[in-house]
Amino acid sequence: MNTDESRSVSRPNVRLFELPGESGEASPVSISLRSFQELGILELQHLERWISSTPDVLGEPLLIITNQFAGFDRTRERSDILALDSRGNLVVVELKRDESGSRQDLQALRYAAYSSTLTLDDLLDIYVATDDARRQVPSRTSSCGPVSGLSRATG
């Protein structure tokens, strides 16, 4: 096989199996791999909504601040999800449903750089605006419950 052919061969680095029944005696059955694209799964309508509703799938508890944040200075770019981890660190989540190019990591780094200027007050305001839009909460103080334990950043 020449070099060009070997680059086009895609091998999954993870295989998934199902154990039918509840006895634990069954043999594992391989689950066929299909791409999100093949399944008709879209980034915004499906992946982002799923992760926002169950952020623990990312491997740690996260408080979702907002989705599709477009409030960066001097750009119209939008980050998929902004969240806070349990230590109060900002987490920028950029989703891709496929291998759409080699600049994916640069996009996430740009969003992290843009987000580095956000203060805790900014994040609280964004969270409240997002939460108010979702739940019709009347005030900032009534909406800050999940983040009220965080100390305000200084400097």
- The tokens describing 137, both together, are 């909460």
Q: What is the pLDDT of residues 19-37, one digit of tens each?
A: 887 777 788 888 888 777 8
**pLDDT confidence tier of residue 145, bands split at 50, 70 and 90:** very low
Residue 93 clears pLDDT 70, i.e. is over it = yes
- The average confidence (pLDDT) of the chain is 75
Instruction: Tell me what pLDDT residue 16 has.
Output: 83
CA–CA distance, 80 with 44 (Å, rounded to integer): 8
CA–CA distance, 150 with 130 (Å, rounded to integer): 18
Residue 139 clears pLDDT 50, i.e. is over it = no
**What does the angle CA 155 – CA 112 – CA 95 come to, to the nearest 5 degrees?**
145
**Which position has the token pair 């391989």?**
30
- What's the predicted TM-score (pTM) here? 0.63
Going from the C-alpha of 17 to that of each of 8, 14, 21, 30, 117, the distances in angstroms are 25, 10, 13, 4, 44
Where are the domains positioned within the chain?
36-145
Going from the C-alpha of 43 to that of each of 72, 84, 108, 155, the distances in angstroms are 21, 21, 15, 36
